[in-house]
Amino acid sequence: MSTTALSVTVRIQRFNPDVDKKPYWDEFKVEATQGKTILDALHEIKEEQDGSVTFQRSCRHAICGSCAMNVNGQNMLVCETPLREHVDRKGRITIRPLPYLPIIKDLVVDRTRFWEQYLRVKPWLIPPENIPEKEFRMSEDEVKALHDAEHCIMCGACYSSCQVVALNKSYIGPHALLKAFLRVMDPRDSAPAARLDDLDKGDGVYRCHTIFNCIDACPKKLNPTEAIETLRKLAMKRQAFEDARRERQQQLNEPIGPVPGH
């Protein structure tokens, strides 16, 4: 494994709404040593070259979702991305804030609309009336059907890569539709028909144009498009789906078969 340092030009889109009329580019030189992430490079630039470079980050472990940015045209979490992997042939790396969202300063964007759409789908669980004494019992197949949607960290990479979001501000967006999918598919949730009814509107599941940017942008390798496709099919038979759910919820506290090791 090579440990030699590589000199990289980091191009950062700068914008301070108090003084700038439009965004401009700033260039900084950093050494791309082995193991250095793009976030490390941004920290280095802020600490050693220009303290006014503004960006957002928190956990540095790809779980808080605050450091999603656009690097060389692709949305990603910069805390988990090695700097060397994204250096182009000219020895440069280009960092922009998440596209299609209002810029607060430099690489920090205003996610108000993102969160408003998230709340619109009522992302919380609406439990049935007969809550089991100990725990809900879900089968393995029911968990598999969620397709890991609960792994979403709400980073906004999918939302800001979606051209439909750019063209239609009222579109719910892939992040919230994935969350809605999680709740609709959850056997513990007792209001799938009402949820599907809301998603069936003009700015809901049928607004998606299957551009697939959300899949490519997701740092957790989730598939919002497939979730949206599933919601479309369920929306057409929502009442039957809710009836089946009610029946299923009669056995939510029943054992689901032999538990391994017991």
Partner 1 sequence: MYRSTGFLSFLLRRVTGVALVLYLLLHIWVIGGINSGADTFNSRMEFLGKPFFRVLEIGLLAAVVYHGIDGIRLLMVHYLNVTEYRKSLLYAALAVSAILVIAGGLPILLFALEG
Contact call for residues 40 and 32 (beta carbons, < 8 A): no
Q: Distance between CA 127 and CA 200 in Å, rounded?
A: 22
DSSP, collapsed to helix, strand or coil, labels residue 28 as strand
Confirm or reject binding of residue 100 to partner 1 (CB under 8 A). yes
Minimum Å distance from CB 73 to partner 1?
5
Contacting residue, 6, 63, 99, 191, with partner 1 by CB under 8 A: 99
Least distance from C-beta 161 to partner 1, angstroms? 5
Contact 117, 173 (CB under 8 A): yes
Local structure of 104: helix, strand or coil: strand
| One of 52, 58, 163, 250 touching partner 1 (CB under 8 A) | 163
Residue of 223, 231, 238, 245 interacting with partner 1 (CB under 8 A): 223
- Least separation, in Å, of the C-beta of 207 and partner 1? 13
CA-to-CA separations, 104 to 63, 114, 126, 143, in angstroms, rounded? 23, 14, 35, 39
Taking the CB of residue 131, how many other CB atoms lie within 10 A of it? 11
CA dist., res. 49 & res. 70, Å (int): 21
> Would you count residue 169 as binding partner 1 (CB under 8 A)?
no
Q: Which sign, positive or negative, has the C-alpha torsion 80, 84, 88, 91?
A: positive
Closest distance of CB 11 from partner 1, Å:
17
**Amino acid letter, 232:** R
Contact between 192 and 142 under an 8 Å Cβ cutoff? The reply is no
Work out how close the CB of 246 gets to partner 1 at its nearest, in angstroms, rounded to a whole number: 27
- Closest to partner 1 by CB, 131 vs 166, is 166
Between residue 114 and residue 153, which ones bind partner 1 under the rule CB under 8 A?
none
x/- site string to partner 1, residues 183 to 222, per CB under 8 A? --------------------------xxxxx-xx------
Is 225 an interacting residue with respect to partner 1 (CB under 8 A)? yes
Number of alpha carbons in the 13 Å side-chain half-sphere of residue 149: 27
When asked if residue 88 is in the footprint of partner 1 (CB under 8 A), the reply is: no
**Contact residues: partner 1, CB under 8 A:** 70, 73, 75, 99-100, 160-163, 166, 209-213, 215-216, 223, 225-226, 229, 232
